Amino acid sequence: MKKFLLSVCALLSMVGAQAQDVVTHAVARDFNVNQAQIIQTSGDKKYYNTTDVSAIDLDQATGCITVNLGTGTDVFNGSVSGIVFTKKLSNAQGVQIIDAQGWLESAYVKFADYAGATTYHVYVKGGKYADFTRIDDQLIRSYGTYNRADAMGMKAGEYALKVVPVIDDTEVEAGANVVSGLVVRNYNRDGYAHHQATAGIGAYNNDGTLKSDARVLYVSKANAKTVTLEMQVGSNKYETRTGIQSIIQAYEKGVETRPLAIRIIGLLKMDDMPTLGSSSIGLQVKGKGQNMNLTIEGVGSDATFHGFGVLVRACRYVELRNLGVMMHEEDGISFDTDNEHVWGHNLDIFYGRNHGGDKAKGDGSFDVKGTFYCTVSDNHFWDSGKCNLNSNGDEVDYVTYRHNWYDHSDSRHPRVRKSKHLHVYNNYFDGNAKYGVGATTGSCIFVEKNYFRNCKYPMLISKQGSDIHNGVGSAADTKGTFSSEDGGIIKAYDNFMTGQKSFEPYVAGHTTYSKHFDAYVVENRGDQVPAEVVTLQGGTGYNNFDTDADFYTYTPTDTQDVPAVVTGWYGAGRCEHGDFQYTFNNATEDANYDVILDLSNKLEAYISSLVKIYGDMGAVTADPDPTPDPTPDPEPQEGNIICTFDGSPSNSMFTVSSTTAYGDGKITYDGTYLKKGVKLDSKGAICFTPQKDYNMILVLATAKSGRDVKLNDVKTTVSGTENTAGAYYELQPIALTSGTTYTILKGSAESLVMMIKLVEVNP
């Protein structure tokens, strides 16, 4: 198997919108032939049999990829992030592989029954696993017509999965098969939840691996009431707790901090659960202010809570991910009261119970109250009525909403009170009948690079502008949306809108639009809102928090790419977009805010197709190869090593700090186009420990002025050579010693590290 070490992320034309891809020759995934896999920036993949391909060409200036075939050509106009070549299955007589894909910090394989097999063993290789390593048996399930196994807790990289049938407790190696070329990406950890955090949020390190000494608990409908786990409840005092709610309630004692990943398998309904901690919402996750290091996550594409939601209180370092929530009694997810560093992402949130009026679709889908340093990201909201309340009058601040898919949801995306540091970026507003972002009660919101499609009012400020029809018209026109609350203020940058009823930007000196505006729109991200720009009711000005030096680092998606990225393979919602699908009719549903009866009935009747879990559901497992954060297990090092950077290091020997940002360098080195590099500013750092003596060559982008770095706090003094055509600066070799840990930091000026080459001294 070969892999192109190139990244050609989407580039917009200098003269207009990006040209459309022309793809007419791609074929279906076929595990019985060698294939080239074109990975698009959205995460979607196109496949070509290598016997049909004569050449794959790259235009380094535009990032355009052309696939040349005997029957014609396919063209990807700057929409490709990687190319992977995958081998055909080596064993035609082995387990039949139906499907296999890499996802976010996980990969799965679907396979047919093997004659006589009573169970299966599945192994993973890649990343920190130099050899095939067996995954937990609980991750292997039967769905009647096929089996599925999910490997989890994986850092970004390329992986292989091996399926071995077992007959009479003996592995049948002759029936084994291996599928390779599975591309795994990291979850995007940009946002306030990770800002100033001292470790990964939840049970996982920031590289996607389980924290050292983490425990894993598997929960399904079969054991939700009976599963047991030892929990610390006092100084040197431990109890064995029974049932998922009782286990979680042990955190209320304030002493349990061991990392715990609770993995949900299949459908859990109210009748399957023990007595829950919150009568109104459901499963209560409550701490006592300690760092809980807790992740509650779904396995595969079908982990679902039906009839209840999740309430999070007094928690630190808690994560919810890859779960479906439907027909909940009140809120779907509620981060409520005294939380810090909490993160909810890749959730599918559907209707709640119909309580009539403004609760016909349930209450809040994902509300944030009494919470600081929080990220709500990569979630798919399905026709929600009230998506994201941010403060009910309580103190909430430092919250990020990004890469969410507001799929025909009506309002509150979010609806904000009081928060002074609120960042809303890269969300896809997709047919929203009432409004997008709502600012009230002195809040300050930075709304950046979102895509609004048929959102009635993309942004509203209470008691001015579009909220009250500029104060002109009937009483109904001028009533307002937000119970006459004082206005909050919005700074907007580089948002795209189409099909809106009204959006009114601030216009200095204008009789109407200097008072009645929906947002202050800036031309450049770093532009500040002038002090004289204040809300009509309440006189709130913008605090320009987004231009402060201590604002977190992040890499936004280009605005025009937001729909493709958010709805793409690695985008919003659960793995594989979840097991429940529903297609909205834009013509009727964009402007409709009533309950869709057909959707409601399907959610009420939803059942799981899960038939069997092969593993012992009473067992507590641990990572077979735990990795402390931030130092990963080194990969075997043979010969020269090259590491590039496109959102993450291409070689796992290298790690970047959680505060490190990536920037556009856009260089061409030895014929390979590289877009992004590690930004070495005051927060950037690259760490690694070579296992042999090497000479290190650093390749810096000329887009930044830095021409040196600090290596273990000592500034480099070697000279370098600038390549104007390639837009890079290559430093002379620097000697490295085997077994020494090196940290690369900012030198005399900020720089962009595009590539690190290690040339073995004594090969």
User: Could you tell me the residue ranges of all domains in the chain?
Assistant: 1-87, 97-186, 190-354+574-627, 405-571, 641-760
Give the residue, 324 or 62, on which the prediction is more confident. Answer: 324
| Predicted confidence band of residue 7 (pLDDT cuts 50, 70, 90) | very low
> 3-class SS at 193?
helix
Displacement of CA 390 from its chain's centroid (Å): 21
Structure tokens, 197: 């955090």
Average pLDDT on 466-470 reads 96
Going across the sheet that includes 686-688, the strands are: 655-656, 686-688, 742-746, 709-711, 714-715
Q: Are 21 and 79 in contact (CB under 8 A)?
A: yes
Is pLDDT at 194 greater than 80 in this prediction? yes
* Phi, psi angle pair for 162, to nearest 5°: -120, 130
Residues near 581 by Cβ (< 8 Å), separated by ≥ 6? none
Question: Considering only 510-514, 548-552, 738-742, which range has the smallest mean pLDDT?
Answer: 738-742
What gap in Å lies between CA 84 and CA 302, rounded to an integer? 28
Average pLDDT on 142-167 reads 98
Structure tokens, 64: 């355009």
Largest CA distance in the chain: 84
| Predicted confidence band of residue 627 (pLDDT cuts 50, 70, 90) | low
Report the number of secondary-structure helices (H) and strands (E) in the chain.
5, 58
pLDDT confidence of residue 632: 38
Average pLDDT on 746-758 reads 93
Q: How far, in Å, are 90, 180, 270, 586 from residue 97 at the CA level?
A: 11, 11, 35, 37
Handedness of CA 704, 705, 710, 716 (dihedral sign): positive
What gap in Å lies between CA 8 and CA 80, rounded to an integer? 5
E strands within 456-574? 459-461, 489-493, 496-498, 520-522
Q: Are 294 and 313 in contact (CB under 8 A)?
A: no
Q: Are 176 and 162 in contact (CB under 8 A)?
A: yes
Average pLDDT on 679-688 reads 89
What gap in Å lies between CA 305 and CA 326, rounded to an integer? 6
What gap in Å lies between CA 655 and CA 649, rounded to an integer? 7
Residue 22 bridge partners (DSSP): 75
The continuous run of DSSP H or E covering 603 comes out as helix 597-604
Is pLDDT at 665 greater than 80 in this prediction? yes
Is pLDDT at 671 greater than 70 in this prediction? no
In degrees, rounded to 5, the angle at the alpha carbon of residue 86 between the alpha carbons of residues 82 and 88 is 160
Percent of the chain with pLDDT over 90: 79
What gap in Å lies between CA 741 and CA 690, rounded to an integer? 7
DSSP 8-state symbol, 469: G
Nearest one of 418, 734, 428 to 573, comparing CA atoms: 428
Average pLDDT on 741-752 reads 92
Handedness of CA 8, 12, 14, 15 (dihedral sign): positive
pLDDT confidence of residue 628: 55
Is pLDDT at 634 greater than 60 in this prediction? no
Average pLDDT on 131-144 reads 98
Q: Which CATH number is associated with domain 97-186?
A: 2.60.40.10
The continuous run of DSSP H or E covering 428 comes out as strand 428-432
Residues near 108 by Cβ (< 8 Å), separated by ≥ 6? 99, 100, 101, 148, 149, 150, 151, 161, 300, 575
Please state, rounded to an integer, the average pLDDT across all residues of the chain: 92
What gap in Å lies between CA 534 and CA 704, rounded to an integer? 36
Average pLDDT on 408-428 reads 98
Q: Are 691 and 738 in contact (CB under 8 A)?
A: yes
What gap in Å lies between CA 69 and CA 22, rounded to an integer? 13
Is residue 577 packed enough to be buried (19+ CB in 10 Å), middle (13-18) or exposed (0-12)?
middle
Structure tokens, 109: 């394989």
Q: What's the chain's Rg over C-alpha atoms?
A: 26
Nearest one of 67, 78, 188 to 673, comparing CA atoms: 78
What gap in Å lies between CA 158 and CA 1, rounded to an integer? 10
**pLDDT tens sequence across 347-362:** 999 999 999 999 999 9
Nearest one of 427, 426, 421, 407 to 365, comparing CA atoms: 407
What gap in Å lies between CA 655 and CA 582, rounded to an integer? 40
Average pLDDT on 722-750 reads 92
- Looking at domain 641-760, its CATH architecture is Sandwich (2.60)
> 3-class SS at 688?
strand
Residues near 672 by Cβ (< 8 Å), separated by ≥ 6? 5, 6
pLDDT confidence of residue 672: 67
Nearest one of 157, 80, 88 to 124, comparing CA atoms: 157
Give the residue, 714 or 423, on which the prediction is more confident. Answer: 423
Structure tokens, 658: 């959680």
Structure tokens, 508: 């200095």
* Length in residues, the chain: 763
What gap in Å lies between CA 684 and CA 610, rounded to an integer? 45
What gap in Å lies between CA 549 and CA 236, rounded to an integer? 44
Nearest one of 435, 459, 440 to 448, comparing CA atoms: 459
Structure tokens, 265: 């398998």
Structure tokens, 131: 């050899």
> 3-class SS at 623?
coil
Nearest one of 751, 674, 743 to 713, comparing CA atoms: 743
Question: Within a 13 Å sphere around the CA of 666, how many CA atoms are in the beta-carbon half?
Answer: 13
Structure tokens, 512: 């109407």
| Predicted confidence band of residue 636 (pLDDT cuts 50, 70, 90) | very low
| Predicted confidence band of residue 638 (pLDDT cuts 50, 70, 90) | very low
**pLDDT tens sequence across 360-404:** 999 999 999 999 999 999 999 999 999 999 999 899 999 999 999
pLDDT confidence of residue 16: 37
pTM of the model: 0.79
